[in-house]
Amino acid sequence: MCRFESRFSSVKIQKSPSLFFKGMEGSSLGVWVAHGEGKFYFPDEGVYKNAVENNLMALKYCNDDAVETSDYPFCPNGSRDGIAAMCSDDGRFLAMMPHPERCFLEWQWPHMVDGLRSDGDNAGPWLKMFQNARVFCEQ
């Protein structure tokens, strides 16, 4: 069953070719979700195997212990392997369901652990994703 979900969830950034997540691999971060669908679907098992073999699953939903999961409520849409984002082989294209653009500043988070807090510039950890895109475009 599909229903609209709008809440703060957690994802774990995977090792992938994504230019957006360069230097963020292994991080577990809170992020807003706001969707009613977004379940990654693989009509061809070969496409799924290619994604696994080439580390194209850039983000996965995780539980409170940062363990990747496809279980509800941690994974709000039931995607296989808890997939929250996938990237292209060259890392330039990213398809994702969570909304880091809604929490790149500290005040946009409902709660934040002290280790993630900035040094007074109000930037949250998701800002790095957008800075990575800018660096790529400038090169």
- Of the pLDDT bands very low, low, confident and very high (cuts 50, 70, 90), residue 111 is confident
At residue 118, the pLDDT reads 66
> What is the CA angle 111-124-54, rounded to 5?
105
Question: What tokens does 131 get?
Answer: 């800075």
Q: Please, what is the average pLDDT of the chain? A: 90
pLDDT at 124 (0 to 100): 86
Q: Indicate the pLDDT class of residue 107, thresholds 50, 70 and 90.
A: confident
Assess contact for 38 and 77: CB atoms under 8 A: yes
pLDDT of residue 9: 94
Distance between CA 83 and CA 89 in Å, rounded? 16
Residue 78 CB-half CA count within 13 A: 7
For residue 119, the model assigns a pLDDT of 66
Domains plus CATH for the chain? 5-98 (3.40.50.880)
Does 1 score more than 60 pLDDT?
Answer: no
Is the per-residue pLDDT at 38 higher than 90? no
Cα separation, 105 vs 123, whole angstroms: 5
